[in-house]
Structure 1
């Protein structure tokens, strides 16, 4: 299998060490080791103090899988395979898909969700998110016209990264009905589930409500992405078993310290989720005000979940040039739409960090320079 360059991650790898400011991170504010250990109950503290750095169980740490299962309504610990989130995507795709399979992928999304099926020889149909006067939307009619009994897998990312889109429950039900009618499996990257900006818009996990669904989650929104702990969840025992066997060829098992830290985090999930959700909502208000103030340069498209937004730089200005100049002149890293396989002049804004306002202030200087340059060209 020959995989195309993961442009999103390569941009971070190329520029992160040089960047003084970052506007486009998808992760939420990270926790310190002290913060997490201070949350530990007596059992977890003993586990940490007596931790052996030997091999761990391939399927994952049972107390952690029990804590993860509590975030679902019907998923049991045995329905969960612990692994790194990106590893979960890789393993699932390699187990589920074969050359010639047809898949439909929500787009834009994490590049691995469409690049891995392509590299595996599948026919990939991109199901585009569209901009409307009230925000992002999915054209359900597009899905109805393109899904068929030949469609092996429907790949979703809800809440969506980078747009922050979440469908309403009636839309989700229609999507599931179309998939069920055609015998289609569903894979959902749901890292940001639980971070709906309006709690009333919260959706259940697809693993709880659709029998042919597998979902991937992780500790990003809880502030522990550096543990590299995530999970696959599915009620289909064969999928979990097959993915566990495939994992023997990747990481085999998980890192022992990360499992204990992740267990502490998941036992305190509501508090950690609120911590980072509050940061996102505060930054969202600041971002909305900023981009609407500069509506002559940007189209602000309101997200309704997750920790990212995906505004558009208005032509004739070019977003790639903007990103390059921000890095060269201000050491500000901005991720443009090409990292997501688009050519639409959008760029990602990360809302989950406490230093967001500082990065936005630097970006404001870039905006003033763009305005001055545009006025000079117009004279």
Structure 2
């Protein structure tokens, strides 16, 4: 069995971060969200992985390499444009051959991995197996309609009038039967080859398409709100670790991970939180559910429920919360004096904020 991981796409909902970085590489608890999916694939015993890449191909290659560090072997599959999930299957035909495969969207996050799903698929081998979860806004997703017995009878992509609240999670399992389906369908009104259309073709051809409704944690990390929520969820499981330097005037409370080379002076950190390698926290408060990446500076400031990417600084700012701050960003005081600040900043930004 192989894996097909989709890591193209422009990441428009995470702009301005994704103007200069692949959305799949935005870190959750200081690890790229893509890596969680690749680790889940490896844990399921799948080692041959094709990664579909687009405009951010070089950045993805640099981060993942040949996959050996993750226990997998990676083949990169260029996609000329984000023309749909079924198009990604179509261009990956030579890599996939006649093997069964799992297709995993690289910006999705599923707590608990996919091993049980993969094991069940290997044992029973329906033509397609999908994961579903109930959502409050099904118009934003592919939506499945089930009959009274729970069989999949219909699939729609982002319908204006959904027939259910069951959204497709970004994990699909297929036998080689799907290749006939993706060749048979036409582009949608969006100009894309939709995987929902391919699976509907299988259903109409009386092929075995099954579903599993999950009640566990799943997020599409395509926007800032969901990214922060996933970061919170992962930090809930962090184990305390102190490999940096913490002076006697500082207070570390709860599950806090301090990476090598980090320095904490005269500060209070309340976990769960992560302080990255080489980061300096001085005269500051870092609150729960905050991930600060490597080589950052948090000085004379308060920050919580936020993600700070590599090389950024927050200095002299009274309070920052619910924020995603890109790489090499400078956040400093400005003349005005709001009580709180909520920021979404792209890489290399410079922002002045009143303290």
Which structure shows the higher strand fraction? 2
TM-score by length of structure 1 reads: 0.26
Structure with more contact order per residue of length (Cα contacts < 8 Å, sep ≥ 6): 1
